[in-house]
Structure 1
Amino acid sequence: MLLAPVANSDMLDTTSTTTSTTTWQFGRSSGVLDRAAKPLEGLYACANSTSVARRNPEVVVFRSAFLQNISIDTMPLLTQSQADDEEYVLVASLDNARNLSNILKAITFKDHAIFSATPNGLKVTVEDSKCMQANAFIQAEIFQEFTIKEDLVGFQVNLTVLLDCLNIFGGSTVPGVSTALRMCYKGYGYPLTLFLEEGGVVTVCKINTQEPEEPIDFEFCSSNVTNKVILLSESLKEAFSELDMTSEVLQITMSPNQPYFRLSTFGNSGNAHYDYPKDSDMMELFKCTKTQTNRYKMSLLKPSTKALALSCKVSVRTDSRGFLSLQYLVRNDDGQICFVEYYCCPDEEVEEE
């Protein structure tokens, strides 16, 4: 059985001393959090980004149009963080920044993301056209240090910029070589500060925050779920490789009777169907109470394939309205479990025909 990250998500059974520090500041004007983000019964999150490139082990070059200010600081990283710790409302540290950057890449399809933090961990939310929402959940236990001084800390940042900063050292995949991360936030109107260290070189990135928009509440709760299956991710990858992705929609049929679980496309090559027997080795759980056939815009679902590529299991759920939930179980480089969830509205125009 897999452990779900939040109460309403029933998927799934289941620093170093430095010789020099380079400080960069960039981003839009700082925003203010004047309302609490709506809780999702567990985790909250925050995200943002800009554009950075590293040319050699000692020099970092920014390519961002948002670049505002650069300064050089020779104070060691540990001294800096200890001096400022009391001012931060949120401090999160990782020995390997890839554990954060990889899961953020799984929800990167728009520039900005909403970060919400609670004592349980981080939730990062990205939305598109009020029809689709992606959430990445990073539990507090995954961080080597996770300190929060308020019940809820929220802000919005540019996700592209944040990812560029997290990969400022090139995102090394060499065994035994990783970039350490210390992420700090002072709260109301302050930038998100990243301390990144690799091989004795420390870079400090400051990303200006904005007031977070209110996330859409899809009102997707387990009590309204009518059908649910849990699959090994490899089987869903295989299905997508065989279906015609030129189709404008993906049709999902879930039923207690045959065809049980069917994916269908209607593209340039004609109609294609991919069926899963309920007793398939790839099917870890089959729980369908009524026959449902819904269509979803392929353009909205394609971003979720980023999470699928990283995951080992996926939960597919539909509620009584036809809303779709895709929950992905992702293991990071250290074998720890994170979750990514996508919500998608059904294609109402197709249903009305």
Structure 2
Amino acid sequence: MASQPVFTAMSTSARQLHSLLRCIAFSQRAEVQITHSGIKFSVEEARVVQGLTFLDKALFSTYTLNLDDDQHTLPPFSISIVALLETLQIFGIAEASSSRNPYGGFSSSYGNAFTAPALAVGGTCRLSYQEPGAPLTITIQEGSVSTMCEMNTYEAHDNYEDDGGIPLDRNALCLKAIMRSTWLHDAITELSGTNPTALVLNASNRSAPYFALEGEGGPFGDSIVEFMPESKNDPTPSGTRGKMQPLVTETFSVVPPSGSHGRIRQRYKFDMVKRAGRAMALASKVSVRQDEQGVLSLQFMIDLGDGANNGARRDDNAAAAAPPSPGSVAFVDFRFVPLVGDDEDSESDTGSEEDFDRQEDNNASP
């Protein structure tokens, strides 16, 4: 009799898994880390851009991990994320409606009950891993029809030094901003029109532009999108003006390194930043962070609840008062290594806030 698998999990929504994993499917292979709290998928390219998504165990109806007493996690392994996505959409899982949802998240618009997309949304997904080194078994079932796929697993590459990814020093952040993801998506889309080679992030806590994105090196010239600050004449409740921040941000903090004259200006390869485009369009919020070494983190919060994003505007104050429950949101994190040594003008080579901070603990788990 076969021994019990070391890991099994069941999801009632193959579409959720497919949509989250597709956000980071910019390379052929993904490294997988299975823990008691969930599954972390990591994809990287040339060690200058990395995408991570964490599938919390709350996303699954059942989640079982059988480890010895001296084990805390399974050895990481890699799989073909392209093959995994093809398996998850074996019954023709459809993308959300092409109509724009300005608040991010999963769209509830799939046509009527007789359209092909409406008939393709269903399907449960069962993941099974017999033992380290064994294939990852995926069983997709819709009604009385089921299909099973065994995906070969491979030895994972050597981990990075920090948390299994491009290291972001959270104790030395020089920029942190939280805003609606659609604002960032619109800015990147606008800059794409000049086909730039580099994206310049420009931020200051003293003078304008307080927060701006620039496209440089394109054949049609340079372009800039500036996020305008609050009016200087708007008083705070105490009657005195507070610190300046862009209107579109919920949180905005700039702490430039010493000798940078109060401004951060860092360059990144534009094509690499565009790898996060799918997550930008799907997410409701994004946390933009940069450390003193210039590593840029874009962490996207994606609402998963059916009623969370149905095209109607949400009450942000109510959402802030009641943090999302586990399983109602998922996080996708992109990290980018800066371009250095070729910018003479560079002055620095370098939900709620609590929701993003809690997710960092999941990404940093061994």
TM-score grouping bracket, smaller chain normalisation: 0.7 to 0.9
Query: Aligned equivalents of 1:215 and 1:340: distance in 2?
Result: 19
Report the aligned-residue RMSD.
1.9
Hey, what does 2:296 align to over in structure 1? 324
Map of 1:225 onto structure 2:
173
CA distance in 2, matches of 1:175, 1:224: 49
Aligned counterparts, 1:44-83, within 5 A? none
Deviations 1:47-100 (A, max 9, x none): xxxxxxxxxxxxxxxxxxxxxxxxxxxxxxxxxxxx86x521111110011111
Indicate conservation of the 8 Å contact 1:308/1:328, yes or no.
yes
Q: Secondary structure at the match of 1:346?
A: coil
- More strand by percentage: 1
* Counterpart residue identity of residue 304, structure 1: A
- Which one of the candidate residues 43, 55, 58 is aligned to 1:141? 58
Give 1:74's aligned residue: none
What residue identity is the alignment partner of 2:132? Y
Report whether the alignment pairs 1:247 with 2:196: yes
2:253 maps to: 287
- Aligned mate of 2:82, from 151, 160, 165: 160
Report what 2:19 is aligned to.
Answer: 102
Shift of 1:175: 7.2
Of residues 174-183 and 285-294 in structure 1, the stretch that sits farther from structure 2 once superposed is 174-183
Match of 1:20 in 2: none
Deviations 1:9-52 (A, max 9, x none): xxxxxxxxxxxxxxxxxxxxxxxxxxxxxxxxxxxxxxxxxxxx
8 Å contact from structure 1 (residues 295, 350) kept in 2: no
**C-alpha distance in 2, partners of 1:147/1:352?**
54
Q: Which amino acid aligns with 1:232?
A: R
**Letter in structure 2 aligned against 1:228:** K
Are residues 1:171 and 2:90 paired? no
Distance 1:245 1:303 in 2: 17
Kept after mapping to 1: 8 A contact 2:77/2:154: yes
Q: Secondary structure at the match of 1:252?
A: strand
**2:227–2:247: 8 Å Cα contact kept in structure 1?**
no
Q: 161-170 vs 277-286, which deviates more?
A: 277-286
TM-score norm. by structure 1 comes to: 0.72
Residue type of the partner of 2:81?
L
Deviations 1:293-345 (A, max 9, x none): 00000121111111111111111111011110110111236452000101111
Residue in 2 that maps onto 1:198: 142
SS of equivalent residue, structure 1 residue 87: coil
Provide the C-alpha distance between the structure 2 equivalents of 1:176 and 1:281, rounded to a whole number of angstroms.
Answer: 40
SS of residue in 2 equivalent to 1:101: helix
Determine the structure 2 residue equivalent to 1:261.
211
The answer for the alignment partner of 1:348 in structure 2 is 340
SS for the counterpart of 2:118 is coil
1:229-272 deviation per Cα after TM superposition (whole angstroms, max 9, x unaligned):
11111211221232245110000012112211110012222221
Deviation at 1:349, TM superposition (A): 3.5
> Does residue 270 of the first structure (1) align with residue 262 of the second (2)?
no
SS of 1:349 mapped into structure 2: coil
Q: Is the 8 A contact 1:194 1:205 kept in 2?
A: yes
Would you say 1:315 and 2:287 are equivalent positions?
yes
Pairing 1:339–2:339 present: no
Determine the structure 2 residue equivalent to 1:42.
Answer: none
SS in 1 for 2:16: helix
Tell me how far 1:132 sits from its aligned partner. 1.2
SS in 2 for 1:302: helix
Q: Following the alignment from structure 2 to structure 1, what is the Cα–Cα distance between the partners of residues 41 and 303?
A: 17
> Which amino acid in the other structure matches residue 111 of structure 1?
Q
- 2:41 maps to which residue? 124
The residue number in structure 1 matching 2:32 is 115
% identity of equivalent residues: 30
Cα offset, 1:176, TM superposition = 9.2
Change (3 A) 1:228 1:206: same
Q: Distance in 1 between matches of 2:150 and 2:297?
A: 34
Give, in whole Å, the separation in 2 of the partners of 1:305 and 1:215: 26
1:303 is aligned to 275
Bigger shift: residues 239-248 or 90-99: 239-248
SS in 2 for 1:264: strand
Residue identity matched to 1:286? F
2:176 partner SS = strand
Aligned residues: 270
